[in-house]
Amino acid sequence: MRTAAIDIGGTMIKSGVWDGTRLEQIKEYPTDLSLGGASLMRQVKEILHSGLLCGDETGAIGISTAGQVDAGRGSILYANDNIPGYTGTNVKKILEEEFSIPVTVENDVNAAAMGEARFGAGAGFRDFLCLTYGTGVGGAVILGKELYRGSSYSAGEFGGMIVHPEDRKEGEPFSGCYEKYASVTALVQRLSKVEPSVNSGKKAFAQLNDPRIKDIIDTWIDEIVYGLISLIHIFNPECLILGGGVMEQAYLVREVEKRVKSQIMESYAKTVIRKAGLGNRAGMTGAAWLAEKKAGLRQV
């Protein structure tokens, strides 16, 4: 049996077919999330109809998606204004009615964490935290090789940690919070004030030899480190796995590890810090594995 996998991201939808050990037929499709949840669901249906489902060989569909997800019902608990009308969408019901096979829906960072837990950088650990740095900061908690989802399926919202209470503003829930300072968005916003042409993390690190750029990057790395120190002292995890495209920068990972290790209590020093291993396939891998498990297709 095979499992169809879909990963709904900020600018692209990725798709693939999971054969139980690896992904095949991987494709990417641009999407405009501003068109809303209904348009997004139509596009997902079109992708699945376009040959991703292999007749009777496909036993389940795994969906990794942005937003807070009620994994039990397969619906979107909350999605911000980047996807209008997505909150409340029952993705599982919509797709099961269309394709008549089991569908599992999971938050994108949770799905990526499960992919890493089974097949990536977390494979050797029972307990770890996974954080992704991009437009915002996403998080997931793995305990005993399984997801800890919390009482309302929303555990791991590390981007919501208050790190700058002096910047809190009434009516702005994420003001003063971690992702406002540690995300790649925050880095680019800082850099744009001194060099408007630097509009991505990749471009920023390409100019690391510019003292103005390096100073801003180093200050931003400190913001990442402050949050990680708090999480290490709260969870005492075996491992931290750091994801997002920006973590491909060797200087960043090296500096984060060095600064964290120099600032945590000695009794927490055994925490391992690793770059995510599956890249942009982690979400699809985790979603497929979870769907396969839930549908009872394999002994996993």
Please give the Cα distance from 290 to 18 (Å, whole number): 11
β-pairing, 103-107 vs 58-65, is parallel
Q: Does the pLDDT value for residue 299 go beyond 70?
A: no
Classify domain 120-276 at the CATH class level.
alpha beta
> 61: pLDDT confidence band, cut at 50, 70 and 90?
very high
At 40-51, the pLDDT tens digits run: 999 999 999 988
Using DSSP's 3-state secondary structure scheme, residue 137 falls into: strand
For the domain spanning 1-107+279-293, the CATH number is: 3.30.420.40
Q: What percent of the chain has pLDDT over 70?
A: 98
Q: What is the pTM of this model?
A: 0.92
At 156-173, the pLDDT tens digits run: 999 999 999 999 999 888
At 164-200, the pLDDT tens digits run: 999 999 988 889 999 999 999 999 999 999 999 999 9
Task: Return the domain boundaries, the chain.
Answer: 1-107+279-293, 120-276
Give the CA radius of gyration of the chain.
19
Degrees to nearest 5, angle at CA 108 with 22 and 294: 60
At 206-245, the pLDDT tens digits run: 999 999 999 999 999 999 999 999 999 999 999 999 999 9
Using DSSP's 3-state secondary structure scheme, residue 150 falls into: coil
Average pLDDT over residues 105-109: 96
At 245-259, the pLDDT tens digits run: 999 999 999 999 999
Give pLDDT, residue 168.
95
| 190 neighbors 181 (Cβ within 8 angstroms) | no
Give pLDDT, residue 58.
85
Please give the Cα distance from 164 to 158 (Å, whole number): 14
Residue 24 bridge partners (DSSP): 17
Nearest to 121 by CA among 268, 243, 288, 236: 243
